Amino acid sequence: MRPMIMIARLRPQRASLAAGTFLLVTAALASPAAAADPPAPGAATGGAIPAAAMTEAKGIFATRCATCHGSGGKGDGAAAAGLTPKPRDLSDPAWQKSVTDEHIEKVIALGGPAVGKSPLMPPNPDLSAKPDVVKALRSMIRDLGKGSAAK
């Protein structure tokens, strides 16, 4: 029996509910999104990070971030000795769990004051036009936490 004929034999309220469900399921199955490939790595955070952005982020981390946070992100960079408060240990698993990706990206782009933290964490306004580089920096920071969690 065809689906629409079966729906017509139901009570009016059930028929409209069944028809609505049938149309919703049919539309979902026919949509291009339903047939699309699974998301690429990083898609949950806005898509895969291009290699060029990752390369640029590594250079930025080495020249801007590591000065205070250290190359391993532990807050032990050369400039950290003269700072109060001390720079965040980016590799700390507890801190990693306590912040969202969006929070990390906001601190990178807008600096500490944007999230109620120290003004000694400067903004990077030049990165506002480079969201992939910001995502790459965030990804690098998340990776620092993975190294500590395994120890």
Per the prediction, the chain carries an average pLDDT of 79
Amino acid identity at 118: S
Amino acid identity at 86: K
- Report pLDDT for 46: 58
Within 10 Å of residue 117's Cβ, how many Cβ atoms?
13
Task: Report pLDDT digits (tens) over 75-101.
Answer: 999 999 999 999 999 999 999 999 999
Q: What whole-number distance in Å separates Cα of residue 22 and Cα of residue 15?
A: 10
Per 3-state DSSP, what percentage of the chain is helix, strand, and coil (rounded to 5)?
Answer: 65, 0, 35
Q: 69 and 75 in contact (C-beta within 8 Å)?
A: yes
Task: Report pLDDT digits (tens) over 40-82.
Answer: 333 344 579 999 999 999 999 999 999 999 999 999 999 999 9
38: pLDDT confidence band, cut at 50, 70 and 90? Answer: very low
Q: How far apart are the first and last CA of the chain?
A: 62
10: pLDDT confidence band, cut at 50, 70 and 90? Answer: very low
% the chain with pLDDT above 90? 65
